[in-house]
Chains A and B, each alone.
Chain A
Amino acid sequence: MVKKIYFQSIFFSFFFIKEAFAAESGGMPQLNPEFWISQIFWLSLTFGIMYLVLSRLILPKISNNLETRKSQILENIEAAEKQREDSDAKLKEYDEILSKSKLEANSIFNQAREKAIKDIGAKREILDNQIDNEIAEAEKEIDILRKNAPDKINKIAIETSSELLQKLIGAEVNNSSISAIVDDLSKRNGDKYYGN
């Protein structure tokens, strides 16, 4: 399609030249050999210089640039990968340390609690013992007191009754006979007074 348009246009242009510009010199300037040598000379010169400069100076530089860029990008990717791995490892380490220290804190707390409980228990035991001892002593004292009480009462009763008798009768009464009577009475009525 494009080619068809071209060729039509070429023919058309020739037609145009002939019809409208018959007065001017027609034909294709390309086929005029006047400047062919000049064109060949300048073409070889410019193209040759361009080829030499491009192949010697510029293209090696571009290819070098591309190579170094490629290798540098690869290197950077590698470095990034390495750093990522490093940071992953570090993160793992951090997690480990964190969980470890958590465990440690837990165990320390537990130990402290156990110790405190133990201490409390020991102190309580000592106190309990002390209290028990004191109670036992007090009971002993009470027992002693209770055991001694009838004797003392009997003595008081004997003395009181002997003095009473002395005042009533006016004569010295034998203490031993009175104590025998009091003993006898207290034995008979002991249960009634002490309740045991």
Chain B
Amino acid sequence: MAANPMSQFDVYRIGPEIKVGAFDISFTNASLFMILSTLSVLIIFNIGSKKNSILPNKIQLLAELSYTFVSKMISDTAGSKAKPYFAFIFSLFMFVLFCNMFGMIPYTFTVTSHIIVTFMLAAFIFIGVTVIGFIKHGFGYLKLFVPSGVPAVLLPLIVVIEIISYLSRPISLSVRLFANMMAGHTMMKVFGGFVISLGIVGGWLPLSFSVALTGLEILVAFLQAYVFAILTCIYLNDALNLHH
């Protein structure tokens, strides 16, 4: 058992090596937890949508509350035009949330603590939003980079800044989630290590800190999934309703 706080992020192969051409697509612990998260989401929501009773049971209530929560979030930030993308944002939110939450169980692997995973999601969102923007507005979508009411002198500078900020969206989106998850888990591991190294005498302080951190991390796990989804909604809003 490694005491290295970063070793919890190690990806290792489960089962044989699978190669498609030059690409290694072996089944790893990351794949395992992706499948677990996906399956949990599908099972919970399948059970929650099966029966339609006037008085919902707990799982049905959970499914319906999540549904209304996400749908309200989308309609609040991106308006009614974003309705066709509801299913995508809902899956995104649930996937990130369940990956984060699975990571909170001891000895599990946190899928979202890997930059490649969050970056792929963010890049997909970025490309998708840009494509939607160009389909909806044509080249008029480039007006996004030219805010109205800016003095002509400042315009070149502003346009450059806007383009940089637009291009940095996938990076900020992915790094935010990845860094939060990684930092939280590392910190918990570090404090856990302190409990062991300080022993029965001095270990109580880091232990209590660890307990508090667990609560905070559960909050962060939810919050980061929410932030990820709501930022997606905001980017989508930019593409659907060109305000600038």
Residues of A within 8 A of B (CB): 2, 5-7, 9-10, 12-13, 16-17, 20-21, 24, 26-32, 34-44, 46-47, 49-51, 53-55, 57-59, 61-66, 68-69, 72-73
Contact = CB atoms under 8 A, between A and B. Distances in A.
Interface string B12-29: 010000000001111110
Contacts of A68: 52
Contact of A37 (B24, B63, B91, B113): B24
Nearest to B88: A51
Contacts of A36: 116
Nearest to A72: B54
Q: Is the interface of A mostly helix, strand, loop or mixed?
A: helix
25 contacts: A9-B183, A10-B183, A17-B4, A17-B6, A24-B4, A28-B9, A28-B182, A29-B10, A35-B26, A40-B120, A42-B30, A42-B34, A43-B111, A43-B117, A43-B120, A46-B35, A47-B38, A50-B42, A50-B91, A55-B91, A57-B46, A59-B67, A62-B45, A64-B52, A66-B64
A62 to B, nearest CB: 5
A42 B28 contact: yes
Interface residues of B, number: 64
Interface stretch (B136-144, B184-192, B226-234): B184-192
A38 B31 contact: yes
B52 A9 contact: no
- Do most interface residues of chain B lie in helix, strand or loop, or is the interface mixed? helix
Given A17-B4, A28-B6, A50-B95, A35 B11 contact: yes
Given A9-B190, A35-B30, A65 B49 contact: yes
A27 B187 CA distance: 15
Contacts of A54: 41-42, 45, 87, 90-91, 94
A43 to B, nearest CB: 6
B214 interface: no
A17 B5 contact: yes
Contact of B187 (A5, A26, A38): A5
A10 to B, nearest CB: 5
B148 interface: no
Given A29-B10, A41-B25, A62-B48, A49 B190 contact: no
Nearest to A12: B190
